[in-house]
Structure 1
Amino acid sequence: MTRLRIASVNVNGVRAAFRKGMGDWLAGRDVDILAMQEVRAETEHLDELLGDEWDILHDPATAKGRAGVAIASRRAASVHRVTFGPDDFDSAGRWLEADYDVDGTVVTVVSCYVPSGAVGTPKQDEKFRFLEGMLVHLPELRQRNPLSVVMGDLNVGHRTLDIRNWKGNVKNAGFLPEERAYFDRFFGAEDDPGYNAGAGFGFVDVGRRFAGEVDGPYTWWSNRGKAFDTDTGWRIDYQAATVELAAKVVDVKVDRAAAWDERWSDHAPLVVDYQL
């Protein structure tokens, strides 16, 4: 059997993250595949920062300095795809999927960065359009390869357990009932007997399954006030694995920094071990 360690993190600008210590974290984490969101850099910057030992796939945003997703891996992908949603939908920098042959087992990995949205603005319309695209694409992804995982900053807290101050955010982007309904489709609704066990589209919220029915563990904290120090966070970073791949999870960790001034991003990495 082969252990496959997959990590996902919104780096909030990869060059800034490396200046603040991301390289030290990565050097000591023994990661096989790393999915990054909000890269905000050029491919040559990723090459320089990560070095020759990594195979790098990168889909930058149409507008420079925004979004951008990447996957770095210890082995080269056999194929990768960046098309997502309708032909006239600009998904550049937000969806990158790749197939990896892991000792004879093909695993499909997606680095995904869902738009953050803003209620009552075109940004929220863009977010709903992206989520609509996921409704179409996720079943196709699972049909193509039952061992698939969509990971990244999905910018929605699915349940009240996922946001510390959920009562104050029910009318805000990231916790709107309309947004959370999409995640009911992905994982099953909270009151569904098959929730997170194959209901919905047959995807499993790996972080929630492993943590159980507890608050958090959160993956993002606002830079305002003392949100990090008081753990007033949001759990908006996911590894959404097909039920077939989720059955192979043996460990899940949120690598929360020990202190506010030791963070290298406003998000914490989500690290999952799969036993293939």
Structure 2
Amino acid sequence: MQIITLNLNGVRAAAKKGFFEWLAVQSADIVCVQELKAQLPDLSGDMLSPDSYHGYFHCATQKGYSGVGIYCRKQPDNVIEGIGIPEIDAEGRFIQADFGNLSIISLYLPSGSSGEHRQIAKFFFMEKFFPVLKTLMASGREIILCGDWNIAHKEIDLKNWRSNQKNSGFLPEERMWLSNVLDDVGFVDVFRQLNPEPDQYTWWSNRGQAWTKNVGWRIDYQVATPVIAQKARSVSIFKTERFSDHAPLIIDYDHIL
């Protein structure tokens, strides 16, 4: 089972950059996408159900903003949109697809970088989502949460960590929250389980020469319950082509849907 996750930074923009042509020649069973920046009427047929995939989406109510989706070759048994909190669900940040005892979630945490009001919204999301994570862990299901968490967990996860300690995405409170997700709730950062190397990033600022110089952040994750996490066999970040300011995170699991 191969799973790809990618923040598209606009599904229509990514389409123009060749994302769906690239996807057509991948062997992924499931593709989780974030930041659609579109409503369903905005999506072409190729965006709704590309190639041999079924598409499921949770769009934001605000036009051109946020939104998540899941493309899967096999139709899921059940799809859940949102977490039941109106302020969060209006922004289209959570969609879950169930396959037997396995749940795949496409997740998009708020960014707090645009101002204090958005950092407050990010902290609100973190507070309300933590019990959801505990409930998921206690459910007995295998869970893989894929997406843009907008948090670099440790110093190794961004190039300029010293100068970013007071910036959204690397605040002590955010990092501690993610540590609690992993250490206390018990989820596993699957990429780091297999790749402990530095300079492994999934997002680069459009300013300066961040991409060229690999001055990036690792803020896109596949976070899983321990049993399915142990079935991960290979991890990679695809950087040969650029469809977004993020790169696709690809993980292969020894599991059949």
Report the 3-state secondary structure (helix = DSSP H, G, I; strand = E; otherwise coil) of the residue aligned with 1:26.
Answer: helix
Range 153-162 or range 34-43, more displaced: 34-43
Q: How does 1:1-276 map to 2 (within 5 A)?
A: 4-44=1-41, 45=43, 47-49=45-47, 50-51=49-50, 53-84=52-83, 86-87=85-86, 89-101=88-100, 106-118=101-113, 121-188=116-183, 200-212=184-196, 214-257=197-240, 262-276=241-255
CA drift of 1:51 comes to 3.2
| Cα distance per residue 1:74-121 (max 9 Å; x no partner) | 0111111123264554453111111024xxxx3101100000013861
Instruction: State the 4+ residue runs in structure 1 displaced beyond 6 angstroms.
Output: none
Opposite residue 246 of structure 1, the aligned amino acid is A
Instruction: Give the Cα separation in 1 of the matches to 2:131 and 2:71.
Output: 26
Instruction: Give the Cα separation in 2 of the matches to 1:216 and 1:100.
Output: 34
Which residue of 2 is the match for residue 194 of structure 1?
Answer: none
Instruction: Give the Cα separation in 2 of the matches to 1:136 and 1:206.
Output: 21
Q: 1:83 to 1:263 in 2, by over 3 A?
A: closer
Report the 3-state secondary structure (helix = DSSP H, G, I; strand = E; otherwise coil) of the residue aligned with 1:41.
Answer: coil
CA drift of 1:134 comes to 2.2
Any gaps of 5 or more consecutive residues in structure 2?
Answer: none
Instruction: Give the Cα separation in 2 of the matches to 1:107 and 1:16.
Output: 31
| Cα distance per residue 1:162-191 (max 9 Å; x no partner) | 010001100000000011110111112xxx
Q: 1:42 to 1:48 in 2, by over 3 A?
A: farther
Instruction: Give the Cα separation in 1 of the matches to 2:65 and 2:123.
Output: 19
Q: 1:175 to 1:85 in 2, by over 3 A?
A: farther
Q: 1:55 to 1:70 in 2, by over 3 A?
A: same
CA drift of 1:231 comes to 0.5
Q: Give the alignment's TM-score, normalised by structure 1.
A: 0.87
Instruction: Give the Cα separation in 2 of the matches to 1:65 and 1:120.
Output: 19
Query: How many positions carry a matched residue from both structures?
Result: 253
Any gaps of 5 or more consecutive residues in structure 1?
Answer: 189-199
What is the Cα-based RMSD across aligned positions, in Å?
Answer: 1.7
- Identity, in percent, stands at 40
Instruction: Give the Cα separation in 1 of the matches to 2:51 and 2:218.
Output: 33
Q: Give the alignment's TM-score, normalised by structure 2.
A: 0.93
CA contact (8 A) 1:94 1:113 kept: yes
